[in-house]
Amino acid sequence: SIAQNQVTLKAEEAKHTINRHIYGHFAEHLGRCIYGGFYVGENNTRIPNTAGVRNDVVDALKKLKIPNLRWPGGCFADTYHWKDGIGPKEKRPSIVNAWWGGVTENNSFGTHDFLNMCELIGTEPYLAGNVGSGTVQELADWVQYVNFGKESPMSNLRRQNGREKPWDVQIWGVGNEAWGCGGNMKPEYYANIYRQYATFMYNYSPTRKLFRVASGASSNDYHWTEVMMRDIPTSLMEGIALHHYSVLTWDDGKKGSATQYSDEEYAKIMKQALLMDDYLTKHIAIMDKYDPQKKVAMVVDEWGGWYNVEPNTNPGFLYQQNTMRDAVLAGATLNIFHKHCERVKMANLAQAINVLQSVILTNEEKMILTPTYHVLEMYNVHQDALMLPVEVKTNDYVLGDIKLPAISASASKDKNGRVHISLTNIDPKQPQQITLSLGSVKATGVTGRILASGDVRDHNTFENPAKIKPAPFTGATLKGDQLTVTLPAASVAVLELN
Ligand code: AHR
């Protein structure tokens, strides 16, 4: 039976913009994200590339309009010494990637490779500095190396390595998961260390001030956020991070299959994903207490679903497939970020290629786009648009003792006045009918696109890469100021009003 859900646009209450940086991505030296994913080496004659970076990947990420890309980690960042990755490639030292499979890292992809790649993609770099095993001087030098235009030891070294103009990198992470792989620090200790590091990260550009992000809490660790906000002055911190993964358990091998999951596993993962709303509400309340003027941004720089690795792949490489579950998870999460866009100014899906909830998977010369890619592409109409608040009355999706909202929604108005409404049906079994009241928004017609498939476990493969792709949506009809929408089970739609 098709029940009734109610969505109401509250355009007259619109105040805040959806920062495009909410649509950011993450590229760690982990498994096949960099090597084989982004980068195949400049001597590769089999896979078309520009300075070693795959052309197919660049094209796909351009279409996605990715606003920023975080690098080189994650946990790897606090082991990374950036000077290992500059200068002639044959002279760069090989190191061990201790966190991720213990593989040899030959440093052939370094600072120049990454920053030039960002220029190619048309995305802003987000560099994660090494606090855990680095030094204040090392991070200060990195900032000078990439950002300083005049004479100095580091800017001269950059020129020697072939780059005249500074890249002018604005977004910087000051360590990663300092409570864990970034040094197992207590919050008070890290807050002090943060203050010290941030002090020596100079603004070399008079117009573009650095945007420094403090390592943030995991999921519902409110104490971490409390201490950061209490102990770090807003003059030293532009953003504070939050990491939240949708995961059944942190026990290795018990995270459930990325494709062959039960209905119960689906519901549990989706419940984890939807907790983002509650977590953000509570972290933001703490931030509001110390920073009522909202100077410091919330930066959710790691989010996504985390499952068992694909059978017969390196457990340290975190390579997982991506189904319609991930599409629904992404749609619902982005709707949550939109809702909190007054404080949430940036986010990074983990990770872009071949790691965790990827938008792209590669296998040698083959590349496929995942259902998650398509959701982020459909949703990119919301980037830098005015968020229109929505009131949502939803049916429940109930499985045993798990109760989830059946639908999730968000809306925005772009610079050309076009209104887009994103709708996600979380119910994996039943279509959902929605009555959508436009309120003061005037429309004469509606078009849209939808991502759906026969089964929530469906996914794209190298053999069948376009099984799941957006299709024109015909399930919405407009009558006066009301839309009637029927969303298929486990689907994501974006409507445009005319
Ligand atoms: O994204 C994978 C890992 O998850 C990152 O390296 C780390 O920051 C987090 O624990």
Residue nearest to atom 8 of ligand 1 (CA): 74
**Omega before 260 cis (within 30°)?**
no
What number is the ipTM of this complex? 0.98
Atom index in ligand 1 nearest the CA of residue 73 equals 6
pLDDT at 254 (0 to 100): 97
Nearest-CA residue for ligand 1 atom 2 is 74
Active-site entry in 105, 124, 238, 302? 302
Between the CA of 162 and the centroid of ligand 1 the distance, in Å, is 32
Report, as ranges of residue numbers, the positions in the chain whose pLDDT lies below 70: 1-3
With a CB cutoff of 8 Å and minimum separation 6, the contacts of 221 are 179
CA distances from 348 to 80, 333, 358, 495 (A): 20, 12, 11, 24
pLDDT for residue 118? 98
What does the alpha-carbon distance between residue 11 and residue 438 come to, in Å, rounded to a whole number? 8
Q: Which two tokens stand for residue 273?
A: 């994903």
Question: Residue 26 pairs with which residues in a beta bridge?
Answer: 70
Atom of ligand 1 nearest to the CA of 77: 6
Q: In the chain, what are the domain boundaries?
A: 4-9+389-497, 18-384
pLDDT of residue 1: 43
| pLDDT given at position 385 | 98
> Cα separation of 384 and 415, whole Å?
8
What is the C-alpha to C-alpha distance for residues 43 and 475, in angstroms, rounded to an integer? Answer: 49
pLDDT for res 3:
58
Ligand 1 center to 69 CA (angstroms): 15
- Does 265 qualify as catalytic in the annotation? no
Residue 473: half-sphere exposure toward Cβ, Cα within 13 Å: 28
Q: How many helices (H) and strands (E) does the chain have?
A: 9, 27
| Nearest-angstrom CA–CA distance, 55 and 452 | 28
- Atom in ligand 1 nearest the alpha carbon of residue 100: 6
Atom of ligand 1 nearest to the CA of 356: 1
302 classed as catalytic: yes
- Burial (Cβ within 10 Å: 0-12, 13-18, ≥19) of residue 180: middle
Which segments of 109-172 does DSSP mark as H helices, in order? 111-121, 136-147, 153-160
Nearest CA to ligand 1 atom 6: 74
CATH 3.20.20.80 fits 18-384, yes or no: yes
Angstrom distance (rounded) from CA 192 to CA 195? 5
Mark 254-265 as b/e (b = at least 16 C-beta within 10 Å): ebbbbbebeeeb
Ligand 1 centroid from CA 74, angstroms: 5
Interval between CA 349 and ligand 1 midpoint (Å): 11
Q: Residue 182: what pLDDT?
A: 98
pLDDT of residue 2: 53
- CATH class of the structural domain 4-9+389-497: mainly beta
Mutate to test the pocket of ligand 1, among 25, 28, 255 (most ligand atoms within 8 A of CB): 28
CA atoms of 75 and 132, how far apart (whole Å): 9
CA within 13 Å, CB half, 301: 34
Residue located nearest, by CA, to atom 5 of ligand 1: 74
Ligand 1: centre distance to CA 28 (Å): 9
Hey, what are 319's tokens? 């390579």
- 3-state secondary structure (DSSP) of residue 130: coil
Whether 333 lines ligand 1, by a CB cut-off of 6 Å, is no
Residue tagged active-site, from 105, 177, 238, 377: 177
- What angle, rounded to 10 degrees, do the helices at 222-231 and 263-290 form? 20
Rounded to a whole number, what is the distance in angstroms from the first to the last CA of the chain? Answer: 31
* Token digits of residue 384: 């830098």
Q: Are 133 and 79 in contact (CB under 8 A)?
A: yes
What is the per-residue pLDDT for 4? 84
With a 6 A CB cut-off, is 304 part of the ligand 1 pocket? no
Measure the CA–CA gap between 372 and 23, rounded to whole angstroms. Answer: 12
How many alpha carbons fall within 13 Å on the CB side of residue 141?
Answer: 16
